Amino acid sequence: MAAKKTNTDKKDMAPTGTEACRDTYWTLASPAQGLYKEKGSKFLAFAYPVETEGQVKSHIEALRKEYFDARHHCYAYVLGARQETYRANDDGEPSGTAGRPIHGQILSAGLTNVLVAVVRYFGGIKLGTSGLINAYKTATADALRQAEKEEKIVTRQFVAHFPYGQMNTAMRLVKELQLQVLRQEADMECHLLIAVRLSEAARCQKRFEEERIPLEEARP
């Protein structure tokens, strides 16, 4: 049984105060694996850094293909800087015994943009509800414990349009504000695509406006 959540709990639609300004999050630097065994059953856990649901789908499809003879391929993922999107899938296990414990471990680790899938080989002896919850929880925790973590910064992208004569001013602001230039086009009319740390966006816009170079939010 699957449960999907996007932008409804934890006041995700209208963050305020320090919640709104938080512009870093922790995720995985690289994939990792974990293992748990109980009464002949094996639970193979695979943790991946992901940024889109498309990447989640690709990893799950690859695991189903590689471990085609396993009885269950359960998983959970969390996406978004504030963990606002998630899904938990039990893949045939009793409701709430697989996906939810996996999801809980991701949250307990304080991570996001993470997928954990647990492949189960049945050993012939039923573990019961509590046994399954513990197995999926422990396998997930083992994978996340093995994984290298990294902190990432949330940014917003802006576009600046200005005449060539203002190029030196624009680049001075880029250096002063320590901005990341993603794309630059220099001609009679110049275009600059920059990435701005979320907490610095308002200050950055103000400084550019002071130099008569307005910034526009970049379209996806």
DSSP letter string over 69-87?
Answer: T-SEEEEEEEESTT--EEE
Q: Has residue 31 got a pLDDT over 60?
A: yes
Q: Structurally, how many domains does the chain consist of?
A: 2
pLDDT at 19 over 90: no
- Mean pLDDT to the nearest integer, 56-84: 96
Select from 105, 129, 152 the last residue of a domain. Answer: 152
- Using the predicted structure, report yes or no on whether residue 27 has a pLDDT greater than 80: yes
148 and 171 fall within a common domain: no
> What pLDDT does residue 21 have?
53
Residue 14 has pLDDT above 90, yes or no: no
Q: What is the domain extent for residue 169? A: 155-217
Would you place residue 124 in the very low, low, confident or very high pLDDT band (cuts 50, 70, 90)? confident
| Per-residue three-class SS string for 133-153 | HHHHHHHHHHHHHHCCEEEEE
Among 152, 176, 208, identify where a domain stops: 152
| pLDDT at res. 168 | 93
Q: What is the rounded distance in angstroms from the CA atom of residue 2 to the CA atom of residue 191?
A: 45
Contacts of 21 (CB under 8 A, 6+ apart): 198, 199
Q: Residue 188: what pLDDT?
A: 84
136-154 per-position pLDDT tens digit: 999 999 999 999 999 999 9
Q: Are residues 109 and 168 in the same domain?
A: no
Given 111, 133, 152, the domain boundary residue is: 152
Q: Are residues 72 and 112 in the same domain?
A: yes
Predicted local confidence at residue 36, as pLDDT: 97
Residues 6+ apart with CB under 8 A from 76: 86, 87, 88, 89, 99, 100, 102, 103, 106, 115, 116
Average pLDDT value over all residues in the chain: 89
Please give the model's pTM, rounded to 2 decimal places: 0.77
